[in-house]
Amino acid sequence: MSPSLLQRIPLVILGTGYTGRRLYHQACEAGWNVFATSRMPDVHLADISSAHRIHFDLTQPETWRSIPTPAHLIWCFPATPLHVVQEFFAGRPRESGRILVLGSTSAYGTNCGAVTEQTPVNADLPRVQGEEYLRTQLGAVVIRLAGLYGPGRHVLDWMRKGKIRNTPKWVNLLHVEDAAGICLRAIERAQNGTTYLASDGTPRTWSEIFSIASEKWSIPIPPPTPLREIGKQISIHKLLTTLHYTLRFPDLYQALDDIERHSSS
């Protein structure tokens, strides 16, 4: 379906946090009639027009009526508990609009090497159970996001504050602007019931990132930490070849340099 036809009904972001806020602004720029939800919209969404704020709390069924029907839904928080997720959708028309769920690559564990969409997920995780219910029963598209960074969530600041260990563990990262762009592309083009992995396409080790950060920004390199788990190497081949998404920030170090310059200006 073309974007113009899809945009005839509203787009609702359920849980407008770090990624959801970027989604809101990108969707507005793309011509969507978009609404942002929060458990405390007047507090957390003060920078968004009051006409586009919705009070929504999954644990409070009386707020569910605030979500327009029909509407495309982008679910930005863990789809748990499962029985409440099921109750929420039981009260909506089956063909109300498209559903997109933001998951995490943590669904595959932390010690699994190369990962594609065919890699088994950990079905014991409540979040994964909710995502897979929505995907298999309601045709939701699931986007499993790598570690997000961007303005206000700066990798170099993590290093400066000692939150990152110097280890040869693989890590996959994704700029928040690309996370938002991928979601909008998936709403427009992905087939119902599909899963996509999303990262910048270049797995790196923290040791490598520390080495570059030391050279470019004089970040101190802490003593090496023994490797306890190898991490993951995420493939985004499916994302690139079926959604034909072009990354806005494929170069981590250029993106970090941009954030660094803007945060110090």
In this prediction, residue 96 carries a pLDDT of 87
In this prediction, residue 110 carries a pLDDT of 83
Q: How far is CA 127 from the centre of its chain?
A: 14
Tell me the backbone φ, ψ of residue 153, rounded to 5 degrees.
-145, 75
Determine the Cα angle at 108 with ends 213 and 76, to 5°. 80
Q: How far is CA 116 from the centre of its chain?
A: 17
> 209-253 pLDDT, tens per residue?
999 999 999 999 999 998 888 999 999 999 999 999 999 999 999
Q: Percent of the chain at pLDDT above 70?
A: 98
Write down the pTM of the prediction.
Answer: 0.96
Length of the chain: 265
Q: Where are the beta strands (DSSP E) in the chain?
A: 11-14, 34-38, 53-55, 72-75, 99-104, 111-115, 141-145, 147-149, 170-171, 173-175, 195-198, 204-205, 231-234
> 116-145 pLDDT, tens per residue?
999 999 999 999 999 999 999 999 999 999
In angstroms, the CA 154 to CA 19 distance is: 14
Which CATH architecture describes the domain 3-148+176-199+235-248?
3-Layer(aba) Sandwich (3.40)
pLDDT higher than 80, residue 6: yes
